[in-house]
Amino acid sequence: MTAPTAVSARPAPGRGQQALDRLRYYLPTLLVAGLLLLAWELAARLFGIRNALSTLRSAAGGFALGTGLGLAVALITARWVTLRQAMLPFAIAANSVPIVAFAPILFNWFGPSNPFSWMAIVAVIVFFPVMINTVRGLTLVDPRALELMRSYAASDFKVLFALRIPNALPFVFSALRVATVLSMIGAVVADFFGVDRLTIGKYITQESAAFRFANTWAAILLVSGVGIVFYWLVAFVERMCTPWQVSVRKQER
């Protein structure tokens, strides 16, 4: 009879390791807070807070409008195969058109001083990635899971809310992360064509024309910082809504 082998216990982490673990845990929060303070300070010192708020209002409003329409159209087109096959080529073709080409048309439709014109430009650039990705998530379900639900006589609404929408959430949030960046780009591009002078886009063009490139780069960094914060916010919501994703579980280890 062999003697039982002793199990070696892991040494307790030292104070230095504990401090390093705490720093890693709180570092993302500290970075986000510092980035927000930096963006606010730049907005207040460089061109007044009204300039930043006007562009941010266009980005946030257009993001909400484009996302809502994209999700609604995706739910409709995913239900009927014929409609989906007819609309997806048009959606892909429209998505390939530069937003610079859409901006003058939308300003002509809604008016150069109407805030909805800015939001409509952002909504156009956000709509197509959200719609296309959501349709993919709603349709690319596991056939075995779909057959199992059909065997239990599940209704179409039950299949939608219990299978298709949970399957589409990773696709939706992937599109939303891309849409956060596109919304800032669309808002700045819309500033170039609008008549409102209290916008970040107008400030960039004016400072560039006056060869004050330090202020120009500061405004660009401000837009980039806001876009990063917007992206992290959507990523945080994704972690809360889809904790079952393998990628999320790996990040939490």
Q: How confident is the model at residue 44 (pLDDT cuts 50, 70, 90)?
A: low
Distance, in Å, from the CA atom of 180 to the CA atom of 189, rounded to the nearest integer, reads 15
Give the tens place of pLDDT for each residue, 173-190.
Answer: 999 999 998 999 889 888
Averaged pLDDT, 189-208: 82
Q: How confident is the model at residue 6 (pLDDT cuts 50, 70, 90)?
A: very low
Which tokens hold the place of 121?
A: 């430009």
User: Domain residue spans in the chain?
Assistant: 45-252
* Helical spans, DSSP H, in the chain: 15-46, 48-79, 81-95, 99-110, 115-139, 143-151, 156-159, 165-193, 200-209, 213-241, 246-252
Give the tens place of pLDDT for each residue, 135-174.
Answer: 888 888 888 888 888 888 888 888 888 888 888 898 999 9
CATH of domain 45-252: 1.10.3720.10
pLDDT at 71: 92
Q: Is 97 left (phi over 0), alpha (psi -120 to 50) or beta?
A: beta
User: DSSP letter at 4?
Assistant: P
Instruction: Identify the residue whose tokens are 């120009």.
Output: 216
Q: Is the pTM of this model over 0.85?
A: no
On the question of pLDDT at 18 being above 50, the answer is yes
* Mean pLDDT, rounded, of the chain: 79
Q: How confident is the model at residue 37 (pLDDT cuts 50, 70, 90)?
A: low
| Residues belonging to the chain | 253
Sign of CA pseudo-dihedral 180, 185, 190, 191: positive
Range from 37-41, 102-106, 109-113, 240-244 carrying the lowest mean pLDDT = 37-41
Q: How confident is the model at residue 62 (pLDDT cuts 50, 70, 90)?
A: very high
